[in-house]
Amino acid sequence: MAHAQKVKFEQPKEFKFSPENMKLVEHHIAKYPKGRQASAVMPMLDIAQKQNDNWIPEAAMEEIARLLDMPRIKVFEVATFYTMYNLAPKGKHHLQFCTTTPCWLAGSGDVVKACEKHLGVKLGETTPDNMFTISEVECLGACVNAPVIQRNGDDFYEDLNPQNVIAVLDGLKAGKPVPKGSHTGRLTSLGAQGATCLTDIATKTGNKVAGEGKK
Ligand code: FES
């Protein structure tokens, strides 16, 4: 097994939003009444993370506190509470595996084991080529398509098993487009019994219609 990379990093001394991102920041702040601008803290953390190669330095949290006129500790509290915010550098693909009960019952343990074996790292570690960081998170809100992985906070890969998740990893490593959503071919969250409404859409997309078998 390859040795997992110990990620060493330094906190940058300064952080400023790019002019383009500053427009986005202003857009979010403007959504809230005067005196309530702190409500923009979550999208601002997300913008900072995307600007800074998928992690949020302390200087960014301080800059957000300054822009929102709120105590730094309150920004830190939000950033440290949610697993979607990374407070240290991650691999190019940060894969967050849901292992909460519905995903676990659907086989997330086997999906995690297959990935750990394929990549040669354990949960919480980064591959030596810095391509993947894998971590464990609580419910990602896509339980009906369990097991689920979230990539870099945006892309969801669903209906995973120990076989199709390897194709996801290999596709990402090769820089190929990896389909988001279900990896067993079902339409969004269509139940195993097949479509019971919107049957015309299900038929067009090759999905099963209840009582009629696979179309
Ligand atoms: S339990 Fe895994 S997405 Fe909800």
pLDDT tens figures, 41-69: 999 999 999 999 999 999 999 999 999 99
**Confidence check: pLDDT of 7 > 80:** no
Contact 103, 155 (CB under 8 A): no
Using the mean position of ligand 1's atoms as its centre, give its distance from the Cα of residue 98 in Å.
Answer: 6
202 alpha carbon – ligand 1 mean position (Å)? 25
Going by pLDDT thresholds of 50, 70 and 90, the confidence category of residue 147 is very high
For residue 5, the model assigns a pLDDT of 52
Q: Tokens for 114?
A: 């297959």
Would you state the structure tokens that stand for residue 150, as one six-digit string? 């979230």
Domain coordinates in residue numbering, the chain: 19-81, 93-182
| 93-182 belongs to CATH 3.40.30.10 | yes
Third-level CATH fold of 19-81? Arc Repressor Mutant, subunit A (1.10.10)
Averaged pLDDT score across all residues of the chain: 93
Which residues' Cβ are closer than 6 Å to ligand 1?
A: 98, 100, 102-103, 139-143, 146, 148
Residue 80's H or E segment, with its range, is helix 72-81
